[in-house]
A and B are shown apart, each in its own frame.
Chain A
Amino acid sequence: MTEAVLRILPRRGRRWLAPLAWAALLLGACLGMEALEGPLRWVEPDSREVIYARADFLTLLGRHLLVVGVAALAAVVIGVGAAVAVTRRAGRDFLPLVAQLASMGQTFPPVAVLALAVPVLGFGTLPIIVALLLYGLLPIVRNTLAGLEGIDPGVREAARGMGMTGGQLLRQVELPLAAPVILAGIRTSVTINIATAAIGATVGASNLGDPIISGIVNGNTAYVLQGALVIGLLALTVDSVFARLRPAGQG
């Protein structure tokens, strides 16, 4: 069976096999949660309902992805931007400060960020995006800094000595060379935030955290399990996509 699938897929497509498999499992879980009614009933024999039905899992998945996606995008723009800025000659002085701030962002628990953000930003999606953004910044800043600092100084010296402008050096040399390390940072950040986003459900951001929070509130372990299962599969899918991303030109 596996071999048959492998033969159908073009060679280039094979490395996407694992992400596709995880994505299929994820979709399967979202669409066919009823199929798990048996085992879930066994976990939670006393409850009337064992399948979370207040919202459609696909909708929750979509909202979850949106929150994580927006937060990740903002974290990438801010994180990579800040790291690039403080490795330029003009911004060197701010390097320790930025490194410190990014570390603090991660020591500050997202729940606390939520608690502080709600009075300012109100309930809903915005506070969780802010919390995720702050929480996800560190791995991106740290890895971008490491990636840029890890470039052989000779390469930078030659590039400047050959007459590349700062922008050309950054776009054509530094970012491509640091890309694998930066990508690894984004991967860590996004994967952590897929799990962390679930707490958004406590402040009214409807996402895959809903079944978990609702399960905890109502003492229904089956709900918790369903939310955890879908979130876990989502994290695995996204992580395996990242594992296969390779910057162009680096075989």
Chain B
Amino acid sequence: MIELIHVTKRFGATTAVDDISLRVEPGELCVLVGTSGCGKSTTLRMINRLIEHSDGEIHIDGQQIRAFREEALRRRMGYAIQSTGLFPHWTVARNIGLVPRLLKWPTPRVRERVEELMALLGLPPAEFADKYPRQLSGGQAQRVGVARALAADPDILLMDEPFGALDPITRETLQEELRALQARLGKTIVFVTHDMDEALRLADRLVVMDQGRIRQQGHPLTLLREPADDFVASLLGGEDRGLKEAALLPVSERMLPLSPRLLPRERVAQTATLREALAIMLWRHAERLTVVDDEDIPIGELSLRRLVGARAND
């Protein structure tokens, strides 16, 4: 658990982070989002003391972070950044094993752990272990960066725009993998981004920051439906919020049981998002879709009226 209590950071006369309080529960993926210079990266870097906070308290699992030695604190947390920061003179395997070696794990255990992580992140050890960072694509390098952050199995993961420099397709793949990884490993993650779609896709808790303050925090759907002010509303996409919300809701949410009527020809998976369902409707000029399960068996149907949230049954 991470807790920030009335935390302020001043650089000389300017206040980068202004009296913020934030609580990230264990296993929660908390996304800090905002425009550049809003203090989100500073906030992240205060948690592992790359930047020391000026006022307030930061607690990790109930203990003040200043109670730890800086290095000991950082070794307890994974840290992944946009530029990956992989050491160019070390192989992939050595890069991943950095923190375990700093923690003086025995060599066989480090090797075992590195291979485990490479497999977990889809980097076959036989192919990648001995490569150097310059031989990797952007997406591969970022996977190595995430593997390195996870290496010593920390409870907490800090990620500073880790996917910011990747092409949209790779970015989406890695976002999905992070979600899956999070579901499996249950880490407490603080993730910084300025990409609202990424924030909405990943967050359990979304924290909107502006000028060093938290404007609003909560579940992404709450923020979409009830933005605290115009700034949050416009940052969340203004009129596009409807589509963004639809992208967060699964078809199963609005689906109706099968009716005795003829099944519509166009199909949509129940795990698809409402936004995807809407796209199919637009593309196929269909007002009704058959909802199917994983095995392509019809289990319900979805009409345009239901999709847009009309209450009445049709």
Residues of B within 8 A of A (CB): 48, 50, 70-75, 79, 81-90, 98-99, 102, 145, 148, 158
Q: Which of A152-210 contact B (CB under 8 A)?
A: 152-165, 168, 173, 176-177
A154 close to B89 (CB less than 8 A): no
B89 close to A176 (CB less than 8 A): yes
Most B CB contacts (10 A, CB to CB) among A155, A161, A176 go to A161
* Residues in chain A near residue B72, CB distance under 8 A: 163
Q: Given the complex of chains A and B, what is the CA–CA distance between A158 and B70 in angstroms?
A: 14
| 0/1 interface trace, chain A 67-83, chain B, CB 8 Å (1 if under) | 00000000000000000
Measured CB to CB, the nearest residue on chain B to A247 is: B89
* Residues in chain A near residue B89, CB distance under 8 A: 173, 176-177, 249-250
B58: min CB distance to chain A, Å: 16
A154 close to B83 (CB less than 8 A): yes
Q: Given the complex of chains A and B, what is the CA–CA distance between A111 and B145 in angstroms?
A: 54
* Residues in chain B near residue A159, CB distance under 8 A: 85, 87
CB-contact partner of B87 in A153, A155, A161, A165, under 8 A: A155
A161 close to B84 (CB less than 8 A): no
Q: Given the complex of chains A and B, what is the CA–CA distance between A155 and B95 in angstroms?
A: 11
* Residues in chain A near residue B75, CB distance under 8 A: 162-163
A31: min CB distance to chain B, Å: 42
Known: A155-B87, A249-B89. A161 touches B71 (CB 8 A): no
Known: A154-B81, A173-B87. A162 touches B50 (CB 8 A): no
* Residues in chain B near residue A155, CB distance under 8 A: 85-88
A154 close to B84 (CB less than 8 A): yes
A162 close to B81 (CB less than 8 A): no
Q: Given the complex of chains A and B, what is the CA–CA distance between A161 and B90 in angstroms?
A: 17
CB-contact partner of B50 in A152, A161, A165, A249, under 8 A: A161
A154: min CB distance to chain B, Å: 3
Q: Given the complex of chains A and B, what is the CA–CA distance between A177 and B148 in angstroms?
A: 20
Q: Given the complex of chains A and B, what is the CA–CA distance between A141 and B123 in angstroms?
A: 41
Could you jot down 13 A-B contacts, CB within 8 Å?
A: A152-B85, A155-B86, A158-B83, A158-B85, A158-B87, A159-B85, A162-B74, A162-B102, A163-B70, A165-B71, A173-B87, A176-B89, A250-B89
A158 close to B74 (CB less than 8 A): no
Measured CB to CB, the nearest residue on chain B to A166 is: B71
A145: min CB distance to chain B, Å: 19
Measured CB to CB, the nearest residue on chain B to A151 is: B88
| A152-B83, A159-B85, A163-B99 known, 8 other contacts, Cβ within 8 Å | A155-B86, A157-B85, A158-B84, A161-B48, A161-B79, A161-B158, A177-B88, A177-B89
* Residues in chain B near residue A156, CB distance under 8 A: 85
> Shortest 10 CB-CB distances between A and B: which pairs?
A158-B85, A154-B83, A163-B74, A163-B75, A161-B79, A154-B85, A163-B71, A155-B85, A176-B89, A162-B99
Q: Given the complex of chains A and B, what is the CA–CA distance between A157 and B70 in angstroms?
A: 14
B65: min CB distance to chain A, Å: 13
B84 close to A160 (CB less than 8 A): no
* Residues in chain B near residue A161, CB distance under 8 A: 48, 50, 74, 79, 81, 85, 158
Most B CB contacts (10 A, CB to CB) among A152, A155, A163, A249 go to A163
A164 close to B71 (CB less than 8 A): yes
CB-contact partner of A158 in B73, B81, B102, under 8 A: B81
